[in-house]
Amino acid sequence: MIQSPQIIQVLNGDAVHEAKVSWWREGARWAVDITSQAFEPTAAEAADAFEALCVVREALEQRGWRIGVTGAQADVWPSGMARDQGGGLRAYRMTTDGIAGLVDTFQPVNPTTVVTVAAQRAETDRLYEEIQHKNQS
C-alpha cells in the first residue's frame, strides 16, 4: 500500500499542475487534504478516506479541477468491506466481466484518465448491475 503524502498531477482544462495529496486517520474518521500552488488547499473528513477524497474532488470539480489518483477513475470503487476494514485506502477496479483486482485509492495517475465523482458513481453502478446480471444468468 502506498504511503501518504503523494505528489500527483491535477488538471484544469488543458493545464496540468503538480499537487500533494495527504490522508490520515483522525479518531474514527479519515481526512484528505490536497494542496497545490494552482488553488487553495482543499480538505475534508469522512467515515473513510475514499469518501473524504470524493468530497474534496467534488469541491474542486466545481472549479474545473480533476485529481490524478486511481480512486478518481471511472471503473474504480471500494466495497463496503474495503471501506469498513481498510478505511477506503484500496478499491476495486471493475470490468463488465467482474472485479479485476484491488488498487490503491491514492496511486498517482495521469489526470486525463479520471472523471467527476458523479460520472464515476454512474459508471460503477452500471458495471455493478452488469456483473450482477451476468452472475444471475
Which is it for the CA torsion 99, 105, 107, 108, positive or negative? positive
Domain boundaries, the chain: 6-136
0.85 exceeded by pTM: yes
Tell me the pLDDT tens digit for each residue of 28-68: 999 999 999 999 999 999 999 999 999 999 999 999 999 99
CB 43 within 8 A of CB 86: no
Average pLDDT over residues 83-109: 95
What distances in angstroms separate CA 126 from CA 60, 75, 119, one per listed residue?
Answer: 25, 10, 11
